[in-house]
Amino acid sequence: MSKKEELLSKGYEFSGVEQKWLDHWREKGCFSAQMVPGKPAFSIVIPPPNVTGVLHVGHALNNTLQDILTRYHRMCGDNTLWVPGTDHAGIATQNVVERQLATEGKTRDDLGRDAFVERVWEWRGEKGGTITNQLKKMGASCDWDRERFTMDEGLSTAVREVFVRLFKEGLIYKGDYIVNWCPRCHTALADDEVEHEDTKGKLYHIRYPYADGSGHVVVATTRPETMLGDTGVAVHPEDERYQHLGDIGIKLPLTDRIIPVVFDNHVDREFGTGALKVTPSHDRDDYEIGLRHNLDRLKVMDDKGCMNKAAGDYCGLDRFECRKKIVEDLERLGFMEKIEEYDHAVGHCYRCKTVSEPTTSVQWFVSVKPLAEKAVAAVRDERIKIYPKTWYNTFYNWMDNIRDWCISRQIWWGHRIPAWTCEECGELIVESFDPTECTKCGSADIIRETDVLDTWFSSALWPFSTMGWPEKTEELATFYPTSVLITSFDILFFWVARMMMMGLHFMDEVPFKDVYLHALVRDKHGKKMSKSTGNVIDPLVVMEEYGTDAMRFTLTAFAAQGREIKLDEERIEGYRHFINKLWNAARFALMHIADCDESVRDVVAEPDKLPLVHRWILSRTASAIKDVRLALDEYRFNDVASVNYQFIWYEFCAWYLEWIKADLFSEDPLAKKQAQGVLLVVLETILKLIHPITPFVTEEIWSVLPGQRDTLTTSSYPVLQEAWKDDNAVGQMELLMGIITGIRNIRSEADVHPSSRIEAFVICADRQRAEFISQNSLAISDMTRLSGLEVVPQAEKPDDAGTYIYNDIEIFVPLKGLVDIDSELEKLGRERKKVEAKLKQVNGKLSNSKFLNNAPEKIIAGEEEKKKLLDSKMAKILEAEERLKNLG
RNA sequence: AGGCGCGUAGCUCAGUGGGAGAGCGCCACCUUGACGUGGUGGAUGUCGUCGGUUCAAUCCCGUCCGCGCCUACCA
């Protein structure tokens, strides 16, 4: 079968088509970045998905939007680069491989560090390409030859360089501070890696006796097991109830320790009894209080969340078992005042959902304040713009309250911290080369850090590390700063803000000019998709069922700024119909243009010489080009989809194609050639316009259009043609379309069978317009299946005629015995009510001197024009009603 | 507690300081030279509530009601 015969298949069958073009684009290297001097540059770096990831609908949205912009700019002729790649995802990946080991009955400790890391690399080699392949399947037009991985050699070099420089600048430090700890992952977590969930818990009120036995104070806690680590009780300095306690001290129950009472403004006198137990090693606030008052730190838990030796008799118990035991003991010994139900937010590890534990620990930190200031400045003076703008507030708010970033993680998979400690003199050695001896005392007895860096540390460098930094590369010169970052709002701070900081600090230039934050994709009820709820829409299944173009189009149509996306599978089905519509329109067009010479399109060079309908569609095409380009430039993706949809379905298919059928079948060579030429040009324009959203179906159609054709991916994006704009033609067509709708309405209301040919009359008092309508009576008849159309200045209407009033023009169709007087009156009544309401409004305005004095002239003239039309329409309606009433 | 956003047709959502829109669904009719994954016509809305600004408010401002999200150290 030849290509053209294939295209004539009745419905669009996407499965074979998609694979064909994926192969073609790859073989021809259509997505390779060009670096042609003098051309504008457009670049995007992909938000690198986790190497463990599987394509979900969020990825599908994110990458569809990026691909739209990339394809658009590539077609505009820019030097275009979309960098793909994956993230090594420290904790997530380590967890996956540990689970794999578990099935073999092994732990990572059985293997040891080196063998384990080796094992992760093996896993990555086998399974790490999954998400990348799925992105390719979506048609993502990344330059796949430039795929990067946050652990690959070049990026690791960049990470090392950044770490060393920041350390030497004093912006990285090591210290014993309180951090969030995941007892399951055995690692520290950054503040924003902890998810707070509202939880129904209990608030325990515990009696803490005074050391002198003269009484007790009640403290409240949700985590009674931490009391074993209490090293003080805090009260407000102005709280009269407790002034005397300063000298006495507290005897901590279940232990033999005496702990001091301290006075601190942080304490809320209104909460509970106004006394707060202080556990500096296991609570962030308490840690601060402890610092202020020099309280001891006592860790009572180990890395696994079990009680340690400092917990005395409770040593070895899991933290939650210990909680139970402590509560029992407190109750038994009479220390428990009461237990209340209590709702509060509990922190969970964002990776494994285990309840996290604040704990003191020796960690590495980045002083982010000086870096954050640069980022805020860049946003304030619009070197970086954020879309939608509602995020500015949130951004500033967060950046102004930012805390130092804990970057060390106690896991094995990741960039190992390039720091050595000298066992002899204690010197901390951080160099870009691997030292063999202490740089201070020369001892060879140096030991490397075991921690690795937070995964976000390497992804923060992504916009420049992927382009070869710290080398000065052509890529950096051409493509940095990148044009736009497209990502989900939930990683604004994990990632976006940190890229700003690092980019500005090391490149002295923003990493991207624009940030577009899209919504999370939810189910049709607005709920988060989750496997356990069972409401997940799997993009891979959708692509199989409806086609990739339909999925891409749906996501684009939903991507309105500032609103969450509630995805409904029925919508995808609806847009599949649209893809099919485009396919069939092309199929029809091809029947008439497949064999014609490409030179037919020359007819558009002089639009003035073309018949009305062609001037009209060219003008409408010009508008569509303008609207689509503007929407693309402003990241109004939903508008890009909607303009294309409306234009293609309603203007191109429903009106234009129907209208020109007569010409296409005509014997008149000029009429035929004009129809073929304009049809070809408009179809080509449509395919290009919508190609960034629906690359597969457009490429397939494009390839079978007449003439020698290269791929659409590197063809030219439509440019607004001023010469095509023709407001006059648009106005004239609107009149004809109004009349056609009127006649169709009469037929439908009177139940005239579509196949029966009837005669219609148009009453138009205006001679010029009457003449014009008359000239187009053939087209009107074709579109409404009339046997004839007569245009008259006035007429005696037959008694039983179906009527329709279009502004000051009346249409009637004699229908002997076919008119249902009652339903006709009902219809007129409805219409009259509408017109009456509008007239009332208009008359009200026009008789209001305030309106006449204040409203702009243009509006007043418009209202007057409106009144004129409504008046004459009203007259026609009343007349018709009168006639019908006389009949009945 | 603070911040942000949302409330428009049965459902999912666009939209605008000056005549209320789309898709799906619904009703009626139709194998009309590409498409029944289609065509034509139709029905459906105090544009959440109450106020204010304005010549004019679905749109701007404020109140209230309902819903969602984010941030936060209240044990």
- Residue A176, classed as helix, strand or coil, is strand
Whole-number Å distance between alpha carbons of A845 and A843: 5
* Band of pLDDT at residue A22, cut at 50, 70 and 90: very high
So what's the pLDDT on residue A8? 64
User: Is strand B in 7 Å reach of the CB of A872?
Assistant: no
Which nucleotide lies at the shortest CA–C1' distance from A754? B30
Mean pLDDT of A289-301: 86
Tell whether the model's pLDDT for residue A512 goes beyond 90. Answer: yes
> Omega into A388 within 30° of 0, i.e. cis?
yes
User: Is strand B in 7 Å reach of the CB of A748?
Assistant: yes
User: Is strand B in 7 Å reach of the CB of A268?
Assistant: yes
* Band of pLDDT at residue A699, cut at 50, 70 and 90: very high
Residue A377 contacts by C-beta under 8 Å, 6 or more apart in sequence? none
So what's the pLDDT on residue A253? 86
CA A19 to each of CA A136, A147, A384, A530, A562: distance values in angstroms, whole numbers, following the listed order: 10, 21, 38, 30, 35
Tens-place pLDDT, residues A80-126: 999 999 999 888 888 889 888 889 989 888 989 999 999 999 999 99
So what's the pLDDT on residue A6? 53
Which nucleotide lies at the shortest CA–C1' distance from A746? B41
Q: Which nucleotides of B are covered by protein (CB under 7 A)?
A: 3-6, 11-15, 18-19, 22-24, 28-43, 54-56, 68, 70-75
Residue A645 contacts by C-beta under 8 Å, 6 or more apart in sequence? A557, A578
User: Is strand B in 7 Å reach of the CB of A526?
Assistant: yes
User: What is the spatial distance, in angstroms and rounded to an integer, between the CA atom of A849 and the C1' atom of B46?
Assistant: 28
* Band of pLDDT at residue A1, cut at 50, 70 and 90: very low
Tens-place pLDDT, residues A657-672: 999 999 999 889 999 9
Residue-range domains of chain A with CATH = 187-358 (3.90.740.10), 564-725 (1.10.730.10), 730-887 (no CATH)
- ipTM of the complex as predicted: 0.92
Mean pLDDT of A23-45: 94
Per cent of chain A over pLDDT 70 is 98
User: Is strand B in 7 Å reach of the CB of A103?
Assistant: no
Tens-place pLDDT, residues A251-273: 888 888 888 888 888 888 777 78
DSSP state of A654: I
User: Is strand B in 7 Å reach of the CB of A284?
Assistant: yes
CB neighbourhood size of A341 (10 A): 8
* Band of pLDDT at residue A740, cut at 50, 70 and 90: very high
Mean pLDDT of A719-735: 92
Alpha carbon A14 to its chain's center: 25
Q: Let me know the angle formed at the C-alpha of A706 by A704 and A708, rounded to the nearest 5 degrees.
A: 85
* Band of pLDDT at residue A818, cut at 50, 70 and 90: low
Which nucleotide lies at the shortest CA–C1' distance from A849? B55
Which nucleotide lies at the shortest CA–C1' distance from A837? B19
- Of A659 and A530, which is predicted with more confidence? A659
* Band of pLDDT at residue A651, cut at 50, 70 and 90: very high
Tell whether the model's pLDDT for residue A815 goes beyond 60. Answer: yes
Tell whether the model's pLDDT for residue A800 goes beyond 70. Answer: yes
User: What is the spatial distance, in angstroms and rounded to an integer, between the CA atom of A841 and the C1' atom of B20?
Assistant: 15
Whole-number Å distance between alpha carbons of A761 and A775: 14
User: Is strand B in 7 Å reach of the CB of A2?
Assistant: no
User: What is the spatial distance, in angstroms and rounded to an integer, between the CA atom of A344 and the C1' atom of B69?
Assistant: 18
Tens-place pLDDT, residues A48-59: 998 988 888 889
Average pLDDT taken over every residue of chain A: 88
So what's the pLDDT on residue A869? 83
Tell whether the model's pLDDT for residue A73 goes beyond 90. Answer: yes
Q: Which range is least confidently modeled, A348-352, A372-376, A773-777? A: A348-352
Left, alpha or beta for A32 (phi > 0: left; psi -120 to 50: alpha)? beta
Tell whether the model's pLDDT for residue A2 goes beyond 50. Answer: no
| HSE, side-chain direction, 13 A CA sphere, residue A562 | 8
CB A558 within 8 A of CB A385: no
So what's the pLDDT on residue A804? 86
User: Is strand B in 7 Å reach of the CB of A840?
Assistant: no
Tens-place pLDDT, residues A138-168: 999 999 999 999 999 999 999 999 999 999 9
Tens-place pLDDT, residues A174-230: 988 888 888 888 888 877 778 877 777 788 888 888 888 888 888 888 889 989 889
Which nucleotide lies at the shortest CA–C1' distance from A235? B75
So what's the pLDDT on residue A7? 58
CB neighbourhood size of A9 (10 A): 11
Tell whether the model's pLDDT for residue A583 goes beyond 90. Answer: yes
User: Is strand B in 7 Å reach of the CB of A353?
Assistant: no
CB A523 within 8 A of CB A529: yes
CA A646 to each of CA A363, A617, A620, A695, A708: distance values in angstroms, whole numbers, following the listed order: 58, 13, 11, 19, 30
User: What is the spatial distance, in angstroms and rounded to an integer, between the CA atom of A562 and the C1' atom of B13?
Assistant: 13
Tell whether the model's pLDDT for residue A887 goes beyond 80. Answer: no
- Residue A365, classed as helix, strand or coil, is strand
So what's the pLDDT on residue A888? 61
Q: Say which amino acid occupies A264.
A: D
User: What is the spatial distance, in angstroms and rounded to an integer, between the CA atom of A555 and the C1' atom of B58?
Assistant: 27
